[in-house]
Amino acid sequence: MSDTRASVTVDDLLRDGLIAPADVPALSPVAQDFRIRLTPAMRGASTSPGVARQFVPDTAESITRPEELTDPIGDRVHSPTPGLTHRYPDRVILAVTQSCEVYCRFCFRRETVGATGTLPQPDLDAALDYIRATPAIHEVILTGGDPLTLSPRRLRAIAETLATIPHVDILRLHTRIPVVAPDRITDGMIAALTSGPTAFLVLHTNHADELTPAATAALGRLADAGIPLLSQTVLLRGVNDDADTLAQLFRALVRNRVKPYYLHHCDLARGTSHFRTTIVRGQEIMAELRGRISGMCLPTYVLDIPGGFGKVPIGPQHVTPGAAPGSYTVIDPQGRSHSYADPDPSRSVHNR
């Protein structure tokens, strides 16, 4: 089934004053290559450059750097059935749809989002059969596209099927919907999310200006329903690549009962180099935040290693080995060095 939700055209963006007339000729091929879509909520919030840059195409998207890949995180490397990725033993990601309510210009799945709609039923059945037959899987992560573009009826059917599989403990949903289309967080949607295994929701959000009053209300409904809320943010040049902007976002999230989980280094998707910072810059920002904001507000800065090798924390590194075995140098939040030593087993202590 193809994706039938309305797209936003270059002309619409021109009318909104979000692109300059002079850029239209260069943007038309970009719009052919990578779909454009914003919800009314995000069109409204696009008076903020931090929001607009995430959704409004840029002529720089026509630049492909040699390191950029069509499958940046290797989703297709570990796919036992269509739509399913099984990279870590205890959890799988299941792309239940390729549709989203918005198309983010930096999306790591930009080659596939919007190309097709919902995962066909035979593929969904095959994925669920694989999960049922694989007792090591404890957690099923619904992704996409955006899983919350599915109807509550479809989500409920998936959640209820997962509830019949004894080894599946956790249903995790990665979504942008509470922010970009908060009206979709209805009582029916919440009932669907809570009809299966213990549900966790991971909100993708990158700038405090996305958290409109309607988004705040939607997050409140989810939290009130007892669904634990986490967030993931992509570090994006020109959007949120400074400590002030991220501090504001992470504090706003915690205020909304959302625990910042991951800060992603921007993946190597085609035409996204204008968004990418260096890893050193990301580490500097994280080090600055460590000294400034509550530990509850701090996510882990991670890189999804290109090629499907998994996500790993990339610092900053606060501890390095010292010269003597068991000795370390530790950097405090203000950047000062301290020594630390493990107990030395050769120096036994006798208490009498």
Ligand X SMILES: *Cc1c(COP(=O)(O)O)cnc(C)c1O
Would you tell me which residues interact with ligand SF4 (CB under 6 A)? 100, 102-104, 107, 109, 113, 144-146, 176, 204
Cβ proximity of 64 and 254 under 8 Å: no
Per partner kind, with CB cut-offs from 5 to 8 A, the member of ligand SF4, ligand X, none near residue 113 is ligand SF4
* Residue 27, C-beta contacts closer than 8 angstroms, at least 6 positions apart: 10, 19, 57, 59
Per partner kind, with CB cut-offs from 5 to 8 A, the member of ligand X, ligand SF4, none near residue 311 is ligand X
Burial (0-12, 13-18, 19+ Cβ within 10 Å), 84? buried
Residue of 87, 110, 176, 184 marked active site = 87
Q: What residues line the site for ligand X (CB under 6 A)?
A: 73, 85, 87-88, 91, 93, 141, 311
Whether 304 is a known active-site residue: answer yes
Whether 91 is a known active-site residue: answer yes
User: Cβ closer to ligand X: 85 or 206?
Assistant: 85
Whether 65 is a known active-site residue: answer no
Cα pseudo-dihedral 55, 60, 61, 66, rounded to 10: -140
Please report how close the Cβ of residue 321 comes to ligand SF4 at its closest, in angstroms.
Answer: 38
Residue of 43, 109, 237, 270 marked active site = 109
Angle CA 205–208–212, to nearest 5: 90
Q: What is the rounded distance in angstroms from the CA atom of residue 77 to the CA atom of residue 179? A: 31
Per partner kind, with CB cut-offs from 5 to 8 A, the member of ligand SF4, ligand X, none near residue 85 is ligand X
Please report how close the Cβ of residue 98 comes to ligand SF4 at its closest, in angstroms.
Answer: 8
Whether 109 is a known active-site residue: answer yes
Token pair of 158, please?
Answer: 């998936």
Q: What is the rounded distance in angstroms from the CA atom of residue 18 to the CA atom of residue 12? A: 9
Whether 88 is a known active-site residue: answer yes
User: Cβ closer to ligand SF4: 93 or 171?
Assistant: 93
Per partner kind, with CB cut-offs from 5 to 8 A, the member of ligand X, ligand SF4, none near residue 35 is none
Residue of 3, 104, 176, 209 marked active site = 104
Q: What is the rounded distance in angstroms from the CA atom of residue 342 to the CA atom of residue 192? A: 50
> What are the φ/ψ torsions at residue 328 (nearest 5 degrees)?
-140, 160
**H-helix or E-strand containing 273?**
none
User: Cβ closer to ligand X: 54 or 232?
Assistant: 232
Whether 297 is a known active-site residue: answer no
Q: What is the 3-state secondary structure (H, E, C) of 17-54?
A: CCCCHHHHHHHHHHHHHCCCCCCHHHHHHCCCHHHHHH
Whether 100 is a known active-site residue: answer yes
Please report how close the Cβ of residue 225 comes to ligand SF4 at its closest, in angstroms.
Answer: 22
User: Cβ closer to ligand X: 156 or 174?
Assistant: 174
Residue of 33, 71, 88, 292 marked active site = 88
Active site members: 87-88, 91, 100, 104, 107, 109, 267, 304, 311
